[in-house]
Structure 1
Amino acid sequence: MKGETSGLSRRQILRRAGGFTAAALTGSLVLTQAGTATAAVAVSKRFDLTDPSDEWHREILLGETRILQSFGFDNTNKHLYTAQLVQADRMLPGETRAYTGTERSTNGDLCVTRLDWGGNIIGRMYLKGFGHGVSIGVEPSGNSAYLWTETDSVPDGTNTGFGTKVARFKFANGAVLQPDSAQVTRFTPAPGSTNNTVAVDPVNNRLVHRHRINGAFRYSLYDLAAFKTGTFTPLATIDQPAVLTGPTFQGYTSLGQYLYTLDGTAYTYTQDGTRTSEANSYVTSIDWNTGLVHERRLTKAGESLFYREPEGLAIQIPDPAAPSAARLHIGLGSEESLTQTDKKASFYYKDLLV
């Protein structure tokens, strides 16, 4: 089922009016005071956020029973990677007791599940002490992928662990990693920052680093290859727009000239199962060159889900030979009822570039 008003005829007319091409950096980086954008990112097409969302998968099971936190696509091998906090009472190799869900959240213990594009689980691994999993990036490599996540988790004032550094490691089915594991490469692009997370632009091979420093959230855009060498010279840096200060932040991604964010909260219910809230999930596009909001739209994708919580954004390229056919995916966590609370994941996408 489609969660938003149908508009297929308009989409068919406009969707392929022009292709999206990978944009090269042009001009030079101009350094300015904090509070302004610093960028020279080439002009590109953007997703039309009024475009109705199409369903890709509805309510599939992941590796844990807890809510989806974020996800990313391996567009080369057609794999989907999801991140969740480890569920209560899950005992991992080397552990001497079971931990509660609260303890897992405080420590920042994550489960990463690999699925094929049919929604079938084909592997999972665990990350102890990494963070909350607000966003992950995927870098294809051979028939597998390197994953980018937060790491070196530190609890905040609510005893929720968030990363203070950035990690890169290869997915390994069944592995249990810690921040200092030999398989993990750690980066510190913003010393002293908290709430570090990352996302990958798969068309332009760029990495986005979101972090909090001096009480404010910032985003920096990097060339992925340069970042891997430890060269932290951003192509663009912007402050988080004020419109995102109040809502519950739920994820982000980037394609070309635009950063995309997701915010909102889950439906609420009375004890008898009566829903007492409406969809309040917004997708926002932000220009890397100016730091200004270009478009902000309510999305009702998956509106008919019983429990519906927005959880992550990612870029899918169904055909790697045709990057103009990019999709902006919205992740949603859900549960079947007040008594059947094991969380499932749904994915909807927009694909109209203008």
Structure 2
Amino acid sequence: MNTFKGKMKQAFRKAVGARHFATIVIGVAVISVLPFSSSSIHAERDALKSKMFVLSEPASELVHEKALQNGTVLQSFAFDNVNQHIYVVQLMAGGQQLPGETAVVSGAKRDANGDLALTQLDMQGNKLGYMYLKGFGHGVQIGVETVGETAYLWTETDSVKEGSSGWGTQIARFPFENGKILSSESPEIVKHRLVEGADRTTVNIDAESGLLTMRYRIDGSFRFGVYELEEIKRNHYKPLADVPQPVVGTFQGFASYGGYLYLLEGNSYGSGGSVAPTGNTYITAVDLNTGEVIDKQLITAGDTLSFREPEGLGIHLTDRKHPQKAQLSFGFASNFTPNRLANIYYVDRLLPAEAIVNSEHP
């Protein structure tokens, strides 16, 4: 990835105010500008503008210690903001034999294959349905797009084994169908390869802004690309923004909302330097227009939970009539193997980034 070229393009966009351009020839100072639409310029700029969640606010509890389809740790979750459902993904538990399989499969084999369990919950965390996804990946982050009453899941897919786990190499869209078992080659799945040569692909949907954010690894480094969701569905893969992942601890999930990207990191008590009751769970806020870290806060919610491993971020739009009212939600796994439980907390105060920075640094 030529980051210098990307910075030059970004600087040029700001200088001329155009979305589409031809080339900048450095040293010769030849600049040619293609025709552009003023409406498309405003659409791009507006998409990456928003207020920022105040990460230092005390968090509220949404879901407390609920069982999922399997007893493994939740990996990530996402909201169906229309039908008010939560979708949670986890590594498929060992000791199961699904239809079409010749024997019981171990948990280690499920992990290596990238086999996932997907659970549909109501907003109180009660189980409504499930799916099994074979050969998809590790489930680091998922997204939901709602069309009418149908929830379409966006996930990684085409898992490739690295170390002891399977990881996705592109992203996929498919409808939720209770009780369905999908493989990575099932006809219901529509796949998209947004960045050639990328792997470790995971995805989040910003329903309020109509954006899709993909985390991916290329040339050994992680990046985040932001795209217009409808353009991806037309197989047009031009990013609105593409920023590097800042230095974080153990990565556990991400979500974008307007112009900001939120990153979750941390470990369960007793590992990776996490000590009860404080732990080492942090959320970092990144400006998607610049890649700059704007805020990073220690998260102490759920400090009485056993185990308490941070897992997944999601944006919940609580009022369809006022989509700017949102909650930044984050998950924790609790309890003990083989009966891990799911917990979700949230913060919901939004302010301009300048107000947050000024209040913390008078």
TM-score in terms of structure 1 length:
0.84
**Over residues 37-68 of structure 1, what are the superposed CA-to-partner deviations in whole Å (9 max), with x where a residue is unaligned?**
xx955431000111110011111111100000
Deviation at 1:118, TM superposition (A): 2.2
Once the two structures are overlaid, the 10-residue window that deviates more, 184-193 or 306-315, is 184-193
Contact 2:277–2:304 (CA<8 Å) still a contact in 1?
no
**Do structure 1's residue 99 and structure 2's residue 105 form an aligned pair?**
yes
User: Could you tell me which amino acid in structure 2 is paired with residue 298 of structure 1?
Assistant: L
Distance in 1, Cα, partners of 2:281 & 2:134: 30
Aligned with residue 51 of structure 2, among 42, 45, 57 = 45
Q: Does 1:353 align with 2:350?
A: yes
Contact 1:268 1:277 in 2 (8 A): no
Secondary structure, aligned partner of 2:254: strand
1:63-74 maps to which residues of 2 (within 5 A)? 63-74=69-80
Aligned partner of 1:215 among 216, 220, 230: 220
Unaligned runs of 5+ in 1: 1-25, 33-38, 270-274
Whole-Å separation in 1 of the counterparts to 2:319 and 2:194: 32
2:350 match: secondary structure: coil
After TM superposition, the structure 1 = structure 2 runs for residues 322-337 of structure 1, keeping only pairs within 5 Å, are 322-335=322-335
Residue 162 (structure 1) aligned with residue 162 (structure 2): no
Identify the residue that residue 11 of structure 1 maps to in structure 2: none
Residue 343 of structure 1 corresponds to: 340
Residue equivalent to 1:148: 154
1:190 equivalent among 181, 187, 195: 195
Q: Distance in 1 between matches of 2:130 and 2:332?
A: 20
Provide the C-alpha distance between the structure 1 equivalents of 2:153 and 2:276, rounded to a whole number of angstroms. 38
Q: For the pair shown, which has the larger CA radius of gyration, 1 or 2?
A: 2
Give the Å deviation of 1:120. Answer: 1.4
Letter in 1 for 2:138: H
Question: Following TM superposition, where does structure 1 have runs of at least 4 consecutive aligned residues deviating by more than 6 angstroms?
Answer: 29-32
The alignment's TM-score, normalised by the length of structure 2, stands at: 0.83
Measured after TM superposition, the shift of residue 29 of structure 1 is 6.7
CA offsets, 1:79-138, max 9 Å, x none?
100000110111111111111111000000001110111211111001100000000010
SS at match of 1:104: helix
Query: Would the alpha carbon gap of residues 151 and 278 (structure 1) be closer, same or farther in structure 2, given more than 3 Å must change?
Result: same
Residue in 1 that maps onto 2:145 = 139
- Of residues 252, 255, 259 in structure 1, which corresponds to 2:257? 255
Does the 8 Å contact 1:250/1:264 carry over to 2?
Answer: yes
* Cα distance change of structure 1 residues 341 and 168 upon mapping to structure 2, 3 Å threshold: same
Return the match for 1:28 from 19, 29, 46. 19
> Cα gap change, 1:276/1:54 in structure 2, threshold over 3 Å: closer, same or farther?
closer
What is the DSSP-based 3-state SS (H/G/I as helix, E as strand, rest coil) of the residue aligned with 1:126?
strand
The residue identity in structure 1 corresponding to 2:265 is D
% of aligned pairs identical?
43
Task: Measure how far apart 1:141 and its partner are.
Answer: 2.0
Shift of 1:268: 1.6
Provide Cα deviations, 1:11-59, integer angstroms capped at 9, x if missing partner. Answer: xxxxxxxxxxxxxxx8527899xxxxxx955431000111110011111
Q: Distance in 2 between matches of 1:303 and 1:27?
A: 48
Matched with 1:272 is none
Deviation at 1:191, TM superposition (A): 1.6
Q: 1:276 to 1:326 in 2, by over 3 A?
A: closer
Whose helix fraction is larger, Structure 1's or Structure 2's? 2
Distance, in Å, in 1 between the alignment partners of 2:240 and 2:257 is 13
User: Residue 309 of structure 1 corresponds to which residue in structure 2?
Assistant: 309
Q: Secondary structure at the match of 2:268?
A: coil
Counterpart of 1:323 in 2: which secondary structure? coil
User: CA separation in 2, counterparts of 1:194 and 1:174?
Assistant: 29
d(CA) in 1 for partners of 2:96, 2:85:
25
What secondary structure does 1:192 align onto?
A: coil
2:92 aligned partner: 86
2:41 equivalent in structure 1: none
Asked whether 1:126 is paired with 2:117, we answer: no
Counterpart residue type for residue 221 of structure 1: V
Cα RMSD (Å) of the superposition?
1.8
Report how far residue 278 of structure 1 moved. Answer: 4.1
Q: SS in structure 2 opposite 1:253? A: strand
